[in-house]
């Protein structure tokens, strides 16, 4: 079973940056579409970014477009989320999730993803 471990969360001031990592094992991410999701207190989990298994297709929610960038390191089997221009409204637990390429053509909404990490907390506050 695919294991996902997020890291890189923390406390940052408004306007600051963080880079989240999602390390996958033991299988190659070449066979999975990967998504970043977040859940703020009292709100539903939100899909914010996705990358297709080939690395060529990406998706961003309007709420993060132009500020967040998804990327991956094939050798490290890790996907990243670079977050710039952070706002207090970005405060949430951030999760990475995966779905196998045989189950979907791209990452889905949260109930359609099969593998999840435990999340990393991002707090944007002065």
Question: pLDDT tens-digit profile of 72-92?
Answer: 999 999 999 999 999 999 999
Q: For residue 11, what are the contacts with CB-CB under 8 A and spacing of at least 6?
A: 123, 125
Whether 54 shows a pLDDT value over 90: the answer reads no
**Strand locations in 28-91 (E):** 32-39, 46-51, 58-60, 68-73, 78-83
pLDDT of residue 109 exceeding 90, the answer is: no
**What's residue 31's pLDDT?**
94
**Whole-number pLDDT of residue 55:** 83
């Amino acid at each position: 079973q695919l294991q996902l471990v997020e890291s890189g969360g923390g406390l940052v001031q408004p306007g600051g940056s963080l880079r989240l990592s999602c390390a996958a094992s033991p299988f190659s991410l070449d066979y999975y579409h990967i998504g970043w999701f977040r859940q703020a207190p009292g709100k539903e989990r939100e899909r914010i970014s996705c990358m297709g298994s080939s690395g060529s297709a990406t998706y961003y929610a309007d709420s993060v477009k132009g500020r967040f960038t998804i990327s991956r390191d094939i050798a490290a089997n890790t996907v990243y989320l670079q977050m710039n221009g952070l706002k207090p409204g970005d405060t949430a637990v951030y999760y990475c999730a995966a779905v196998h390429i045989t189950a979907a053509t791209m990452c889905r909404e949260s109930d359609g993803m099969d593998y999840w990490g435990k999340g990393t907390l991002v707090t944007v506050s002065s």
